Amino acid sequence: MIDVEKGACDYKDSVVDVFDKAKEQAGLNLASHKHAACVDFIACYPKNATKAVNTESVSAGFAEVGMLGKSRHTEYAFPSMYGIIHTLGMNHYPQALIDLFKDNLPRLVQEVYDKGHVEETVFDELKFQVDKNYEEEEVLKQQGISQEQMQRAKCLTHEHQVELRAAKLVEAKAKAKQKFDKLVNDYRTLLKSNPKTLEMAPKRRYL
C-alpha cells in the first residue's frame, strides 16, 4: 500500500481520514514525510501482522521451550516434559532431575492455574536447583511484579497477575500524589512564613 494514491484503497483512505480528523479536531500537525510514513505503516500493519502471527510462527516458539509437544493424534497437544527439561541446556539430564520434575508436575501446573506464576518459594520447597548463569554462578530470581520480565514460569494474562499489576499501579499513583501533596504543603508553609517569597520568585511563562 506504500505510495498508493488516495482513492485506490478503501482501507488506506480510512486511515488518511482519521489523521485528517486528528489534525482538525486535536491539532495533530505532522511533517508531510512523517504523516506519510505513519499512514503507510498503519495501512500495511494488518497484512504484515497476518504474515508474522500465524499458527506456525507462534506455535514454533512454544514448542521450542516445551510448552507445546507433539502427540500421536495432533501436531501440538500438552506440554512436553522433555522439551521443558531441554531448556536447561544440559548435555546430560540426570534421572533424579527427570523424576523430580515428573513427581511435581501436577503441583507446578496447579500453581500456574491458580496464580499464573510459579513462585521461587515453590521451587525451593520442591528442592529444584537454583538457576545458574553462563559462568555457573547461582542466580536468584526473587523479583516481584515490578520486574516480572525477570520472572520465570509465568502467564502474563492470568487474572491474578493482572490484579497484581493493577495494585502496583495504584500504589505508584498514591506515592506520586503523596509526594506532590508534600511539595504543595511545603510551598504553602514557605509562603506563610515569608509572604514576599512569591513576589521575589522569577516570572515564568508557561505555554
The average pLDDT across 128-156 equals 78
Q: Is the pLDDT of residue 84 over 80?
A: no
The predicted structure's pLDDT at residue 206: 43
Report the mean per-residue pLDDT for the chain: 79
Q: Is the pLDDT of residue 1 over 50?
A: no
Name the nearest CA neighbour of 39 among 68, 19, 59, 56: 19
The average pLDDT across 56-82 equals 72
34/202: higher pLDDT? 34
Query: Measured in whole angstroms, how far is the alpha carbon of residue 24 from the centre of its chain?
Result: 34
Task: Report yes or no on whether pTM surpasses 0.85.
Answer: no
Residue range 101-111, pLDDT digits in tens: 889 988 988 99
Does residue 132 sit in helix, strand or coil?
Answer: strand
Q: Worst-scoring range by mean pLDDT, 37-51, 78-92, 136-150, 189-203? A: 189-203
Long-range contact set of residues 175-184: C-beta below 8 Å, sequence gap at least 24: none
The predicted structure's pLDDT at residue 207: 41
Count other Cβ atoms within 10 Å, centred on residue 182: 10
54/186: higher pLDDT? 186
